[in-house]
A and B are shown apart, each in its own frame.
Chain A
Amino acid sequence: MKSLHRSGGPRQKSRIPWDLVIPLIPLLLWLFLLLIFPHLRLLMLSLMKRGQKSLAEGGIFLGNYLKPFQDPDHLFIRVFIRTILFSLINTLLTLAVAYPIAFYVAKVVKGMRKFVLLVLIALPYYISELVRVYAWMNILRETGFLNYLLVDVLHVMSQPVEFLYNTASLFVVFVYSSVLLMLMPIYSSLEGLPDEQLQAAQDLGAGPLATFTHIVFPSSLPGVTAGFILVFMMNVGDYLIPNLIGGKNNLWVTEMIYNRFIVSTNWNLGAAYSLVTLVLTTFVVWLGLRLTGQTLRGVFSEQ
């Protein structure tokens, strides 16, 4: 009985609101030690010369941000633009591949068949990205399945060809590894569209195209935005696919960051690369949310 109406009760002993303090401590440790301070440290590193001990000692140095422009081959700028451009193209490709499937699952099949189809589509995505990318290497490499099929079985070609390490294979595997991130949000928003509304449109004489542009697509727009953001982010931040499938001709920002931090260590330059990438992805996400009036939580709970 003593704890009845505890908050605000006159016999309350401790003034410390434990139910606020106890959960606040782990949260603050997490946010400050693992997110805020590390990113501030990254910012500091990016504003210092290589070997500089602190900002107070040598002042702010912008060279890490200017260096990409001063490089004779503009390597980082080229890689940065490629990463963004390819990620955008891939996001559109993924949309084109995923949309008909999402519509099929949401509106065409019903009952048990729908459930089975959903499980079949979702199941491969629980498998590690590394395994899924590696599985494609088994198909595309010079001694892989595709060459076996074309050379030894079908005799279409006389010599095996390396299908890995080019832009086309990069896109095939990128779409493969991101299609579910696009499919699920679109599926959920189409799921909410009542069948009667489609029927009504057709009864009123709308053709398939008009029904699509006036009813289906607008109602799937939240899902499309969510999918767009998820896939774009996943693509820009990916390391495995550009590295294993894209090869040396398709260098990615994440690989350049890795090289600066691990291979030929220049953390200051690597920090600048990281922050530029972070600012870009955040901006794209913000723009997507702003244009469609959604929240980040909404986008991720569609998953």
Chain B
Amino acid sequence: MLSRRGAQRSRLGRKLLWLIYTLYVLAFLLYLYTPLALTSILAFNDRDIPSFPWYGFTTDWFYNPDFGQAGLEETGGAGNIGTGATGGRMGVFNDVKMMNAIKTSFIVAVAVTTLSLLVGTTTAFLFERQRFFADAALYFVMMAPLVIPGVILGVSILSFGNSIILWLRGIFGREAIRPIATLLRPGLFIVVLGQFSWIATLATMVISARLRRFPIVQEEAAMDLGANRFQAIMNVTIPYLTPAFVSAGIVSFLLSFENFGTTLFLIGNDPTLPILFFSRLRFSITPEINAVSVVLMAGTVLFGGIVMGLGQLRGHMSSGG
């Protein structure tokens, strides 16, 4: 009798435990999404101060069609919902500096992605297919960026670039090396190199992982059919690697586009989006920053969704085959 009641009680206790567990998971999801959701809501709030309460819906902080025409149509324009004069509001797409920063980030990310994919591919082939002098040591150095904080990669490349300038100046004189000096001083060229220095490691790892699974007999079969080594790789191996190129490419692009730590030390006069975002933030918080956040979120979630979709697809394919 007693034991039955005890069992009942323990079953009840277990149910309660499960309830608490499920609630914990829900609370965790809430913790993940509340800040992002609130920021997104604020981006559409029709109020000149970026905080609650809710004043109504507006897309002014993304694009204000009346921007720069403040006071021209005070009387009953359809755009003038809510409080103040709409004309003064600057949306993300009205903001020339912001658009330039997005463009800069885009250019840098494309350059970093291209370089990382190229070097990642050759490096993956090298370490997966070849044995050579000091390969283990080189592999070790290649993996090192995974444990070097991005900030330190940034300062090391900054100092090295500077030391090359000083060294060349000592040999050739200040005037002769001016073009090289501009490249090696903080600026976009060195930002690309700085980001590449560690993003290439990740690209190499993604491509290597797929190359390792490649059945090399297929390449040999192509060569038996008359293809030379290069043709066999280009026509058989490279197509096999395509999924790895896509995911390595997207990851590289995102990491570069969003990079802050390394870029902070190497940036010159053209800020990337994260750098401009940060300096605006330090200065004052505006509704426009919320809108930029939403643009960034939308872009990255789209990209991230593609990566995860690909991963899922690959999972299905490998479990099916």
Binding site for B on A (CB under 8 A): 1-4, 6, 19-20, 22-24, 26-28, 30-31, 33-39, 41-42, 45, 97, 100-101, 104, 108, 115, 117, 119-132, 134-139, 141, 143-145, 148, 152, 176, 233, 236-240, 244, 254, 257-258, 261-262, 267, 270-271, 274, 277-278, 281-282, 285, 296-297, 300-301
Contact = CB atoms under 8 A, between A and B. Distances in A.
B205 interface: yes
Contacts of A282: 147
B151 A258 contact: yes
Contacts of B257: 128
Interface residues of B, number: 86
A258 B261 CA distance: 10
A123 B301 contact: yes
A237 B148 CA distance: 8
Interface in B238-257: 254, 257
A39 B149 CA distance: 12
Given A101-B25, A134-B281, A274 B155 contact: yes
Looking at chain B's contact residues, the main secondary structure is helix
Given A124-B33, A131-B293, A176-B35, 12 more contacts: A3-B223, A27-B119, A35-B145, A42-B159, A97-B28, A127-B300, A129-B260, A134-B39, A135-B38, A137-B281, A237-B151, A239-B264
B8 interface: no
Main secondary structure of the interface of A (DSSP, over half): helix
A34 B302 CA distance: 32
A131 B296 contact: yes
Interface of B: 21, 24-25, 28-29, 31-36, 38-39, 42, 49-53, 118-119, 122-123, 125-126, 129-130, 132, 138, 141-153, 155-160, 163, 193-194, 196-197, 200, 205, 209, 223-224, 226, 228-229, 254, 257-258, 260-261, 264-265, 274, 277-278, 281, 285, 289-290, 293, 296-297, 300-301, 303-305, 307-308, 312
A240 B147 CA distance: 18
